[in-house]
Amino acid sequence: MSSNSFGRLLRVTTFGESHGPGIGCIVDGCPPGLPLSAEDIVPDLKRRATGKTRHTSQRREADAVTIQSGVFEGVTTGTPIALLIENTDARSKDYSNIKDQYRPGHADYTYDAKYGFRDYRGGGRSSARETTMRVAAGALARKYLAHHCGIEVQACVVQVGEQRAGTVDWSEVENNPFFAPDPDWVEPLEAYMDALRKSGDSAGARVDVVARGVPAGWGEPVYGKLDAELAAALMSINAVKGVEIGAGFASVEQPGSEHRDEITPEGFLSNHAGGVLGGISTGQDITASVAFKPTSSLRLPGVTIDRHGEPVEVVTKGRHDPCVGLRAPPIVEAMTLLVLMDQYLRHRAQNADVEPPFVIPPGGEHDR
């Protein structure tokens, strides 16, 4: 078994290695009738792309996506939609020196342990290049959810290493190369990143995400809870080490009388729950936060062994991000969008006829 598919009713299956001929995905289960072209996908791919500033990997991929199937006369047909992207800027020679080494913090060793050997070029299948197709599929889900349900999903970087954003102004996020929600934080962040790059070290990041406009009732008890699937989706992104929903770990220290979001006919009075109760959406903003570890590909030498068990010193050359979290928001958005669209289809499968007794207006300030 090998698990390269995601979702139940909207099902995305990806393929491709960092330095193979190309990458791609099949999106199965999209309802018919959605206007879709490559132009709908390009903007999110560009938001995720490397090489835009000096702060990210200098690999420059065209990311020219083509739609191979499932769209006819500009509209989805209900049959599988295949998206392909050629790899154009792979430099495999960069990696020959580490082909027998197990880079600390990488999947080199674990792939060898699982499969007996691996495609070592650029990390092969374990490369973050795979996330390109998540973003491509997510762009489809974004369009569908916007059109049909008025849903909007947005992510931003709120912390890099020990540097934290001072405020979260969602309207600022796209105005800088860091997906930073605080305009006053951009300059110090540039300085921080320049210093980091020079040091040869790397930094982690925290990314927040919010989904606005999700109606109450989405999500499936007991093992398909909306927050459980969101957790899996976000934890499946390369380098993620933690996921919080709503107040997250802060809820450990909140008394119940504070944490429980009280309700009035005009709406919830707070949103510590992050828009999910019992695994089902409340109609409030759905909020989550994600921890990205620091990149393990460093110019600083490290201690490791090779495939034969011999000790070696490793120094990563190649082209790498000193902080992968800086390119993560489009990926975090994509996974959130895919979970939501899948849950929407599942909800309407079982509950298309349901009329809720009362709809609470969203309201409620939330923790993030």
Considering only residues 322 to 351 of the shown chain, the ones binding its own copies according to CB under 8 A are: 325, 345-351
Separation of alpha carbons 272 and 309, rounded Å: 49
Contacts of 249 (CB under 8 A, 6+ apart): none
Enumerate residues 159-178 that contact its own copies by CB under 8 A. 159, 161-162
* Closer residue to its own copies, CB minimum distance, 154 or 281: 281
Question: Pick from 290, 321, 333, 292: which is nearest to 123 by CA?
Answer: 321
Kindly state the number of chain residues that form the binding site for its own copies, as judged by CB under 8 A: 160
CB of 140 to its own copies, least distance (A): 14
21 interacts with its own copies by CB under 8 A: yes
Q: Which helix (H) or strand (E) holds 13?
A: strand 11-16
CB of 37 to its own copies, least distance (A): 14
291 interacts with its own copies by CB under 8 A: yes
Enumerate residues 238-267 that contact its own copies by CB under 8 A. 238, 241-249, 251-257, 259-265
281 interacts with its own copies by CB under 8 A: yes
Decide: 18 and 124 in contact? Cβ < 8 Å: yes
Give the number of other Cβ atoms within 10 Å of residue 149's Cβ. Answer: 15
Q: How many CA atoms lie within 13 A of 37 on its CB side?
A: 3
Decide: 362 and 285 in contact? Cβ < 8 Å: yes
One of 78, 183, 318, 363 touching its own copies (CB under 8 A): 78
129 interacts with its own copies by CB under 8 A: no
233 interacts with its own copies by CB under 8 A: yes
| Cα 274–chain centre separation | 18
* Closer residue to its own copies, CB minimum distance, 171 or 223: 223
CB of 19 to its own copies, least distance (A): 10
Separation of alpha carbons 38 and 353, rounded Å: 35
CB of 121 to its own copies, least distance (A): 8
Q: Which two tokens stand for residue 155?
A: 């992510």
CB of 18 to its own copies, least distance (A): 10
Write down the residue that tokens 């909306």 correspond to: 226
94 interacts with its own copies by CB under 8 A: no
Enumerate residues 33-52 that contact its own copies by CB under 8 A. 33
One of 56, 63, 70, 182 touching its own copies (CB under 8 A): 70
Residue 224 pairs with which residues in a beta bridge? 220
64 interacts with its own copies by CB under 8 A: no
Q: Which two tokens stand for residue 363?
A: 């309201």
107 interacts with its own copies by CB under 8 A: yes
